[in-house]
Structure 1
Amino acid sequence: MSRDLTGVFVGSHAIAEGLVTAKQLRQLSWRRVVQGVYADPALPFDHRLRCTGVALLLPRGAAIGGHSAAAWHGAPFAGPRDPVTVVRPPDVEWKGPREVRVHRAELTDHDVARHDGVPVTTAQRTAWDVAVLEPLGTAVAALDAMVRAGAVDEADLAQLLAAGAGRWGVVRVRRAFGLVDPRAESAPESWVRVALVLAGLAPVPQFEVRVAGRFVARTDLAFPAARLAVEYEGEHHFEDTQIVRDDARIRRLEAAGWRVIRLSAADLRDLDAVVARIRAALAR
């Protein structure tokens, strides 16, 4: 009978319904998503699966929000082990399991939509909460992706900011919204761009390098006047023939008289050092 369980389920409910015993739940291969919630191990283990598990525990009136909700709005950057952000109204008391981060704030029915049964804050509400709750670079990366995906646009952000004048967190929101640039094609590009802009530099995202009108390459970030390109090479750089294509693109840039700074995930652990490296290259 235990093999009839599929999808995501609350362990205690499955035991009460006779679908599985406590011993089977411990010994068989169901994946523990959060405390008390399990999933079919065949399901991809990502942040949305974890949110789906948390949704089974939510009290009425609460919703998946912030960085977690952004996964439904074009910014799936939260990892499978990251805490799930939940927004609850002031009159709803709920702490949730330890894998959850609960944010207490006003929340109306208009702020929430259901996606496959999961209550998720709307794109507009998510944009505001991400800007309030997350570090600046993380917030801007999520907002860049949401605008790029069409979940919100820059007019929506301007309207949100105007409507939220005087609201708690508006200073953080104004700062994050002012840094949004949907040309960035990945979270690391956004993180590096934000660090550079805050340092007083002005990189151009997704700049097309041309020589005599002929396309040479498109760069992640560029300083055209200095002919300096900044390229981020994530894990995909080493997949299949991607490394060959990337290396050929770098050679074309260098042949066109451009210098290229190549960054990896390890470099992003110290963005101050990245900024110093780029500033030094610009000074040469």
Structure 2
Amino acid sequence: MPRHHLNGVFIGSHAIAAGVLTRRQLRESSYRRLVHGVYADPGLPVDHRLYCTGVGLLLPPGAAIGGHSAAAWHDAPSAGPREPVTVICPPEVRWSGPRQVRVHATDLRPSDVELVDGTPVTTAVRTAWDVAVLEPLGTAVGVLDAMLRAGRLDREQLDRLVREGAGRFGVTRVRRAVEMADARAESFPESWVRVALVLAGLTPVPQLRVRHRGRFVARVDFGWPEEKVLLEYEGDHHFVGRQIDRDDERFDRLEAAGWLVIRVSAADLRDLDRVVRRVLAALAARR
């Protein structure tokens, strides 16, 4: 069937024309509509990459999935399932796409695109550039951190990206994101918190290994060794089963060693300014 994905994503009109489905079957069956005219097998996991795959079937020649949408192919999935799909289009290609698509018109060389399971996606290096140009700083740094951590990019490639982009629109944003990227970050929330701290002039040591009287105590997300202040982001897995008790025991050991521990959860991400104020107060109290 024309424009039919092997993983169960297809253009409805093509399936009907090929005799695979009737209009009634398509309408009454449980196929999931991704974007206008494109459907997916209901058994497929629903994530942003699934919607990107559907949009990929509609792309005109020369265009590609890009930005933080393409990051899903480079071990840095940052977009939610229903967030608009970012498409990079050369200026000469006039295409607006369906409603759920965000089109960015800019130069796009064939070497910037790779075909993955039938979907044209920008390369890791090109994705890094577009994410830094198009997304808020926290999102951009989070994607770069994840790509570095996964080995999809290295520091030399990022530095070269900035050098070769000198004079291009957006290079200032790219330089800023690259300067803040750090492979030590272990999650997107950690990256977001670190960006907020650094922008406030509070530069922590990431993944600090704490020792007391020559013995290892714990490794924590962020630390200010001189003031003996720590900040730990607790994701969902920290609140499951025995992990709660293990965390409490670990924090007790840190406090017994003279450290002040600030614990941050997903709810705190809604107000990172408040997190910064908590850190400022803690540091001031220790000086």
Q: TM-score, normalised on structure 1?
A: 0.95
Paired letter, 1:210? R
Equivalents in 1 of 2:47, 2:117: separation in Å?
A: 16
Matched, 1:145 2:146: yes
The answer for the alignment partner of 1:93 in structure 2 is: 94
Paired letter, 2:37? G
The answer for the alignment partner of 2:240 in structure 1 is: 239
Per-residue displacement from partner, 1:130-188 (whole Å, max 9, x unpaired)? 10000001100100111111111111111111111100111111111111111110111
Q: TM-score, normalised on structure 2?
A: 0.94
| Residues 38-187 of structure 1 aligned to structure 2 (within 5 Å) | 38-187=39-188
Paired letter, 2:68? H
The answer for the alignment partner of 2:219 in structure 1 is: 218
Equivalents in 2 of 1:107, 1:161: separation in Å?
A: 17
- Segment drifting more, 130-139 vs 21-30: 21-30
Matched, 1:229 2:230: yes
Equivalents in 2 of 1:202, 1:106: separation in Å?
A: 36
Change in CA separation of 1:185 and 1:37 when aligned onto 2, cut-off 3 Å: same
Equivalents in 2 of 1:239, 1:120: separation in Å?
A: 37
Structure 1 residue 121 displacement after superposition: 0.5
The answer for the alignment partner of 2:262 in structure 1 is: 261
Q: What SS does structure 2 have at the residue aligned with 1:225? A: coil
Per-residue displacement from partner, 1:32-81 (whole Å, max 9, x unpaired)? 22222111111111111111111111111000101011111121121111
Equivalents in 2 of 1:28, 1:251: separation in Å?
A: 56
Unaligned runs of 5+ in 2: 1-5
Change in CA separation of 1:270 and 1:42 when aligned onto 2, cut-off 3 Å: same
- Segment drifting more, 126-135 vs 246-255: 246-255
Q: What SS does structure 2 have at the residue aligned with 1:86? A: strand
- Segment drifting more, 24-33 vs 87-96: 24-33
Equivalents in 2 of 1:272, 1:205: separation in Å?
A: 19
Paired letter, 2:246? R
Equivalents in 1 of 2:123, 2:61: separation in Å?
A: 17
Change in CA separation of 1:263 and 1:212 when aligned onto 2, cut-off 3 Å: same
Matched, 1:192 2:193: yes
Equivalents in 1 of 2:237, 2:62: separation in Å?
A: 40
Q: What SS does structure 1 have at the residue aligned with 2:120? A: strand
Equivalents in 2 of 1:146, 1:195: separation in Å?
A: 20
- Segment drifting more, 7-16 vs 245-254: 245-254
Question: Considering only aligned residues, what root-mean-square deviation do their CA atoms show, in Å?
Answer: 1.4
Q: What SS does structure 2 have at the residue aligned with 1:68? A: helix
The answer for the alignment partner of 2:3 in structure 1 is: none
Structure 1 residue 6 displacement after superposition: 6.4
Q: What SS does structure 1 have at the residue aligned with 2:93? A: coil
Structure 1 residue 244 displacement after superposition: 2.9
Per-residue displacement from partner, 1:226-251 (whole Å, max 9, x unpaired)? 11111111222223433233222222
Paired letter, 1:27? E
Q: Between Structure 1 and Structure 2, how many residues are aligned?
A: 280
Q: What SS does structure 2 have at the residue aligned with 1:222? A: strand
Equivalents in 1 of 2:33, 2:236: separation in Å?
A: 27
Equivalents in 2 of 1:182, 1:62: separation in Å?
A: 30
Equivalents in 1 of 2:43, 2:107: separation in Å?
A: 37
Structure 1 residue 10 displacement after superposition: 1.0
Equivalents in 1 of 2:68, 2:25: separation in Å?
A: 34
Q: What SS does structure 1 have at the residue aligned with 2:180? A: coil
Q: What SS does structure 1 have at the residue aligned with 2:226? A: helix
